[in-house]
Amino acid sequence: MKILFLTNELKNTCGVTSHLYNLCIGLKKNGIDFRIACGGGDSIQKFKDSEISVISIPEILHEKRIIVRFVITHIKLLFYLLSGKYDLVHSHHHYCANIAKNVCRILSIKTVQTNHGILPNVGLLKHFSADYFIAVNDHIYDYLVTEEKISGERKSLIYSGIWEKENKTKERQKKIKFIAAARLVEEKGTQDYIKAVHLLDENYFKQAEFFIGGEGAYENVLRELNEKLGGKIIFLGNVASLSERFDEFDVFVMTSKSKSEGLPITMIEAAFAGCLIISSNYYGINKLFNYDNGCITYECGDYVSLTHKLANVIDNYDEAILLAKKLHKIIIKNFSADTMTQKTIQLYSKIIHG
């Protein structure tokens, strides 16, 4: 079988990019022939370094969409599909999924769309446009059933997977290192992390350090807020290979307020690295991320509550380590990249061969 992946961008600190990279590594291990077409991004070289073929189609970039570029992308995709003789097109963004569905209908090629979140119901294009759909989280799968009325074998639930690495022993550092890492946009709620940290008593900063990783349109606002409140948080900017650096941190903080959030792969990566997870109880949080399993949660948007959680972790760090170890075991069991790969290959085979 030969697969063409379509995605918006390949970027550092991007869950979709991490998901696609892990899937591609699994497909390579299983001898599957595939290519990726995307609009650009600063993580392309990472894929090429792993001998994953990436085609650049600048017009496919959703942020720069206009009618002319939309038409050009259809023509370019038609050319690639005809010249490459692909069996299946698998999209990871609704914009390219719509284009794929239009072109593949002409060529009688089946399409798959992986849905990484639920977008607000706005815009002219369908947010679900394919022959088959993959949901990476339970609430997305439920949405496909109840709202999109997608039934039978056209829908699948396949969790994002991480490749397990040799687990490094976390050294007890002089200070506990907290990190919040995400695209720096308002709905990710990073402003709550900044406010919560600056409510901590001064003595806590002798025991802990706080960091933010990522970049985005809201970055300047967040930097100004941090400086205004006292500048207690260090901004790391665009962190390349963030998954490989989680070993440097002790606690990962997820602050999302988004109604369209899927399952942030950074949460899985951080748990795989043995970090304690503190997360907002955002809409769609995966059911495995709960206190019984070792994940600390707080009510979405309640940064005062988050402050108490941060303080409690610092005050009772030995207990926090035990929680992190508990969650680590559960996440490894449920979010295996090998399982994700095998389920995806099985789906491809069923679609292509019937």
Q: Do domains 2-161+336-353 and 176-334 have the same CATH topology?
A: yes
CATH placement of domain 176-334: 3.40.50.2000
The label of the residue with tokens 């720069």 reads 64
Written as six digits, the tokens of 134 are 């993959």
Q: What is the pLDDT of residue 168?
A: 60
List phi, psi (to 5°) of 277.
-110, 125
CA nearest neighbour of 10 among 51, 41, 50, 45: 41
Radius of gyration of the chain from Cα atoms? 21
The two structure tokens encoding residue 293? 């399993």
What the block records as the tokens of 331 is 């996440």
Count of alpha carbons within 13 angstroms of residue 192, beta-carbon side: 28
Do the bridges between strand 88-91 and strand 251-254 make them parallel or antiparallel, or are there none, so unpaired? unpaired
Q: Per-block average pLDDT, block size 10, for the chain (354 residues)?
A: 96 87 96 96 93 93 91 93 94 96 96 90 87 93 92 92 74 89 91 98 97 93 97 91 86 88 84 94 88 95 96 96 95 93 97 89
Which of 197, 158, 181 is CA-nearest to residue 273? Answer: 181
Question: Could you write out the three-class secondary structure of the chain?
Answer: CEEEEEECCCCCCCHHHHHHHHHHHHHHHCCCEEEEEECCCCCHHHHHHCCCCEEECHHHCHHHCCHHHHHHHHHHHHHHHHHHCCCEEEECCHHHHHHHHHHHHHHCCEEEEEECCCCCCCCCCCCCCCCEEEECCHHHHHHHHHCCCCCHHHEEECCCCECCCCCCCCCCCCCEEEEEECCCCHHHCHHHHHHHHHCCCHHHHHCEEEEEECCCCCHHHHHHHHHHHCCCEEEEECCCCHHHCHHHCCEEEECCCCCCCCCCHHHHHHHHCCCEEEEECCCCCCCCCCHHHCCEEECCCCHHHHHHHHHHHHHCHHHHHHHHHHHHHHHHHHCEHHHHHHHHHHHHHHHHHC
Domain range 2-161+336-353, CATH architecture:
3-Layer(aba) Sandwich (3.40)
Q: Which of 58, 130, 56 is nearest to 93 (CA)?
A: 130
- Please give the Cα distance from 109 to 183 (Å, whole number): 34
Provide the pLDDT for residue 152.
86
Amino acid at 7: T
Of the candidates 236, 280, 215, 234, which has an alpha carbon nearest to the alpha carbon of residue 254? Answer: 280
Contact (CB, 8 A) for 65 and 96: no
Domain boundaries, the chain: 2-161+336-353, 176-334
Using a 10 angstrom Cβ sphere, with 0-12 exposed, 13-18 middle and 19 or more buried, the burial of residue 99 is buried
Q: In sequence order, what are the residues at sequence separation of 6 or more whose Cβ sits closer than 8 angstroms to the Cβ of residue 157? A: 134, 135, 138, 141
- Taking the C-alpha atoms of residue 176 and residue 5, their distance in angstroms, rounded to an integer, is 40
Residues 6+ apart with CB under 8 A from 117: 140, 258, 260, 261, 262, 284
